[in-house]
C-alpha cells in the first residue's frame, strides 16, 4: 500500500456538528476517521478549518446539487464574529486530537515533523484555514494562529471577504468572476510569506490568483482543484494557471468532488475512476509529474462511489497504475510532491 498524504479534508466540520464524535473510532458515515484512514493508507493531510455560509446550510454540495450546478446561489460575506468563534472551536478540536493520550494524531508544523510522524506510523495533520474571515485587518490573529500551528491558508472560500473574492461553484464558467486581491489581501500574502504559511489558491477567483502569483515568493499551490480543460467549472484551473503553477514549482491536488470532475458538470456519484485518471493525465501533462498530488475534499464534497470514503483511495492509485504510472510516479502523486512543495514553502 502506497502511503497517501492528502491536500484537503473538511472532517473537523463533522466534529463541530457532533462534539461527542470520536475521531479515533470507526464510523459508517462521512469519509474519514483515524481508523478508516489507516485502512486506506492515509498517513496525513491538510485539515481545513472552514466557517459555513449561513444561507447554505450544512452541506454546500448538497445545496448546489439540489439547486442545479449551473445556477449556484451567490454567497455573501459572512460575519467575522461568527468566523472567529467557529475557527477557534475548530482549531481547539484539532489540537484536542493532537492531545490524545495514546498519541495517535499530531499537528505537523514542519517537514521534519511530517516525516517523523510518517516514520512513527502516526497520523499527521497540517492546520489549514479555508477562508481568512477570522483574521482582522491588522493580521494580529494570523500570528496567533501561526503560533497555534497554522501552516496553510486560503485567503478566501467561494465568497468575498476582506482580502479577496472566491469563485462561485458555477458550471460552465471561467474562473474570472470578479476583482482580485484587496489592499488587505496583499498585506495578508506578504505576511504569509514572512511567516512561511503556505497560500492555497483553490477557491480564489482568477484575478486573485494572478495577484498572488505576482506578489508571493512561494510556489503556487491549489490544494484541491482540477483541470478546467476537462471540467469547465469556475473552481478548476485553466491551462494558463497550470503553467504558472508549474513555473513556480507548485502543486495541484486532485479534487475528488464529482462536481469538479465531471466533463458534463452533472452531479453523479456513479462516475468511473477513468474520469479521475483523465484529470491526472491532463494535470501531469501541464504541471509535470512533480506538480500533481491529491486533494480529496473528504467530508466536504460528494465523491465517486468508486472511491466511497478514505478506504477507497488506493483504488485510484491502482487505476493510475493500470493507466501506466510507475511506482515512482505514484509515490510522487500520493505524498512525495506535497512534502517537496512544503519543504520549499516552509523551509527546512
Ligand atoms: Zn474547498
Angle at alpha carbon of residue 144, lines to 6 and 340, rounded to 5°: 30
Cα 235 to ligand 1 centroid, rounded to whole Å: 9
d(CA 315, CA 273): 8
Q: Kindly write down the DSSP assignment for every residue of 144-207, as one continuous string.
A: HHHHTTEEEEES-SSSB-SS-BBPP--SS--S--S----HHHHHHHHHHHHHTPEEB-TTB-HH
pLDDT score, position 237: 98
Q: Which three cell numbers stand for residue 293?
A: 498530488
Q: Helices (H), strands (E): how many in the chain?
A: 14, 9
d(CA 165, CA 95): 29
Q: Kindly write down the DSSP assignment for every residue of 280-348, as one continuous string.
A: HHHHHHHH-GGGEEE---BTTS---TTT-SGGGHHHHHHHHHHTT--HHHHHIIIIIHHHHHHHHHH--
CB 128 within 8 A of CB 200: yes
pLDDT at 122 over 60: yes
pLDDT score, position 71: 52
CA distances from 148 to 40, 126, 143, 263 (A): 29, 11, 9, 40
pLDDT score, position 65: 59
Say what the pTM is. 0.96
pLDDT cut 90: percent of the chain above it:
90
Cα 102 to ligand 1 centroid, rounded to whole Å: 31
pLDDT score, position 73: 60
pLDDT score, position 75: 82
Cα 250 to ligand 1 centroid, rounded to whole Å: 18
pLDDT digits (tens, 9 = 90+) for 145-157: 999 999 999 999 9
Owner of C-alpha cell 466534529: 15
Owner of C-alpha cell 511506482: 327
Give the H/E segment covering residue 43.
strand 42-49
Per DSSP, the three-state class of 126 is: strand
pLDDT score, position 76: 87
Cα 59 to ligand 1 centroid, rounded to whole Å: 12
Cα 203 to ligand 1 centroid, rounded to whole Å: 7
pLDDT at 58 over 70: no
Per DSSP, the three-state class of 222 is: strand
Lowest mean pLDDT among 167-181, 232-246, 328-342: 167-181
d(CA 207, CA 175): 8
Residue 266: band (very low, low, confident or very high) from pLDDT cuts 50, 70, 90: confident
pLDDT digits (tens, 9 = 90+) for 310-336: 999 999 999 999 999 999 999 999 999
d(CA 26, CA 152): 27
pLDDT score, position 68: 53
Residue 212 burial (CB count, 10 A): 26
pLDDT at 31 over 70: yes
Question: In terms of Cα–Cα distance, which of 212, 242, 208 is closest to 227?
Answer: 242
Cα 221 to ligand 1 centroid, rounded to whole Å: 13
pLDDT score, position 324: 98
CA distances from 260 to 118, 194, 235 (A): 30, 33, 7
- The whole-chain average pLDDT of the chain stands at 95
Cα 6 to ligand 1 centroid, rounded to whole Å: 13
Domains and CATH numbers, the chain: 4-346 (3.20.20.140)
Per DSSP, the three-state class of 13 is: helix
Cα 223 to ligand 1 centroid, rounded to whole Å: 9
Cα 131 to ligand 1 centroid, rounded to whole Å: 9
Cα 22 to ligand 1 centroid, rounded to whole Å: 23
Cα 18 to ligand 1 centroid, rounded to whole Å: 21
Cα 166 to ligand 1 centroid, rounded to whole Å: 11
Amino acid at each position: 500500500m502506497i502511503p497517501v498524504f492528502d491536500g484537503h479534508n473538511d472532517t473537523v466540520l463533522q466534529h463541530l456538528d457532533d462534539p461527542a464524535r470520536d475521531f479515533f473510532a470507526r464510523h459508517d458515515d462521512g469519509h474519514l476517521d483515524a481508523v478508516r484512514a489507516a485502512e486506506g493508507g492515509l498517513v496525513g493531510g491538510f485539515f481545513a478549518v472552514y466557517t459555513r455560509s449561513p444561507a447554505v446550510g450544512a452541506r454546500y454540495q448538497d445545496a448546489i446539487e439540489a439547486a442545479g450546478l449551473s445556477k449556484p446561489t451567490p454567497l455573501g460575506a459572512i460575519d467575522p464574529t461568527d468566523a472567529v468563534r467557529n475557527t477557534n472551536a475548530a482549531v481547539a478540536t484539532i489540537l484536542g486530537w493532537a492531545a490524545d493520550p495514546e498519541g495517535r494524531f499530531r499537528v505537523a508544523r514542519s517537514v521534519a515533523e511530517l516525516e517523523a510522524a510518517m516514520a512513527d506510523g502516526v497520523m499527521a495533520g497540517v492546520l489549514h484555514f479555508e477562508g481568512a474571515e477570522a483574521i482582522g485587518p491588522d493580521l494580529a490573529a494570523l500570528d496567533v494562529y501561526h503560533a497555534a500551528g497554522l501552516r496553510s491558508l486560503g485567503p478566501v472560500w467561494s465568497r468575498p471577504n476582506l482580502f479577496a473574492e472566491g469563485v462561485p461553484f458555477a458550471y460552465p464558467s471561467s474562473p474570472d468572476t470578479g476583482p482580485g486581491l484587496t489592499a488587505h489581501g496583499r498585506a495578508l500574502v506578504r505576511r504569509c510569506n514572512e511567516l512561511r504559511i503556505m497560500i492555497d489558491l483553490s477557491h480564489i477567483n482568477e484575478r486573485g490568483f494572478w495577484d498572488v502569483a505576482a506578489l508571493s515568493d512561494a510556489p503556487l499551490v491549489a490544494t484541491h482543484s482540477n483541470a478546467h480543460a476537462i471540467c469547465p467549472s469556475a473552481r478548476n484551473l485553466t491551462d494558463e494557471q497550470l503553467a504558472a503553477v508549474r513555473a513556480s514549482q507548485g502543486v495541484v491536488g486532485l479534487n475528488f468532488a464529482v462536481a469538479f470532475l465531471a466533463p458534463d458538470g452533472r452531479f453523479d456519484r456513479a462516475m468511473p475512476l477513468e474520469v479521475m485518471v483523465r484529470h491526472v493525465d491532463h494535470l501531469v501533462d501541464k504541471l509535470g509529474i512533480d506538480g500533481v498530488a491529491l486533494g480529496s475534499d473528504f467530508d466536504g464534497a460528494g465523491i465517486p462511489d468508486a472511491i466511497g470514503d478514505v478506504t477507497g483511495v488506493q483504488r485510484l492509485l491502482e487505476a493510475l497504475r493500470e493507466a501506466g504510472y510507475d511506482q515512482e510516479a505514484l509515490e510522487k502523486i500520493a505524498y512525495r510532491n506535497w512534502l517537496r512543495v512544503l519543504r520549499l514553502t516552509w523551509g527546512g
